[in-house]
Amino acid sequence: RGTAEQRLDLAGRHVVVSAGGTREPLDPVRFLGNRSSGKQGYALARAAVARGARVTLVSANSELPDPAGADVVRVSTAVQLREAVLKAAAEADAVVMAAAVADFRPARYAEGKIKKRDGQEPDPIALVRNPDVLAEISADRARPGQVVVGFAAETDDVLANGRAKLARKGCDLLVVNEVGEHKTFGAEASEAVVLASDGTETPVPYGPKEVLADTVWDLVARRLA
Ligand code: CTP
Ligand code: CA
C-alpha cells in the first residue's frame, strides 16, 4: 500500500469482483444461504477503485454500503450471479470470485409458502447442483491473458486442499483462507495464503481484509503487466 506507482497500477483496467453469499429460495419466504458478509469482496472492490481500475462489483445479498466509484450489480441466487459475472467478465482484465456461491439449490421452488401438516413429518429437501462459475470462467477466458482469481475457505488440510482446488478450478490464483467458528466469516481480519498456478505461494499474515485485498491486486497487476 502506498507507493505512487502502486497506487494507480490498475488504471485503464476493468476488473470484476463477486462478493457476498448467494441465497437459494425454497419458497417466497425461505432460502438456503451461508454466512458470508461480503467484507472481503467489498474490500477488494474498494482497493481496485483506489488503484485506478474500473470496477464491477457483483454483490450477492450483502448489507454493506456500495463502494464509491464501483458499478454495483445486485444478485441473489447462484444462477443470477453466474449471469451477471459472465456478462461483466466479457470485457474484463481480471475476475475475482470472492462470493460464497451455493453448491446446491433446492430442486423445486414452491410458489406458495410451504405449510406444515398435522401429525406429518416434513419432506426432505431435494437439491440439484449449481453451475461452477469460477471453473467456467477459468476454462473459457473471455479475453486472452484475463486473470482469474478464486477464494477457498478450508477447515482441514488447508494447503493440500487448496492446491487440489486450484488445479481443479483452473484459475490463476486461489486465496485459501483457514476457517473455523470464529475465523473469517463476518470477521474484520483473516489469515490466508495465495496459491498461484505457477507454483508460488504468498502467505498473508493475520490482519485486515484490506491488506489481503492489496496483496491480491499486487499479484493480479504483476500478471497483467
Ligand atoms: N465457486 C463458484 N461457483 C460455485 C461454487 C464455488 O464460482 N458453484 C467459486 C467461489 O466463488 C470460490 C471458489 O469457487 O472462488 C471456491 O469455492 P469453494 O466452495 O471453496 O469450492 P468448491 O469447488 O465448491 O469446493 P467445496 O466442495 O470444498 O465447497
Ligand atoms: Ca463450495
Q: How far is the CA of 132 from the centre of ligand 2 (A)?
A: 9
pLDDT tens, position by position, for the chain (225 residues)? 455 556 899 999 999 999 999 999 999 999 999 999 999 999 999 999 999 999 999 999 999 999 999 999 999 999 999 999 999 999 999 999 999 999 999 999 999 999 999 999 999 999 999 999 999 999 999 999 999 999 998 888 889 999 999 999 999 999 998 876 556 666 666 689 999 999 999 999 888 999 999 999 999 999 999
* pTM assigned to the model: 0.94
Phi, psi of 195 (to 5 degrees): -95, 135
Residue 3 φ/ψ, nearest 5 degrees: -70, 150
Determine the residue of 96, 159, 165, 194 to mutate for testing ligand 1's pocket, defined as the one with the most ligand atoms within 8 A of the Cβ atom: 165
Radius of gyration over every alpha carbon of the chain, rounded to an integer in angstroms: 18
CA 50, distance to chain mean position in Å, is 19
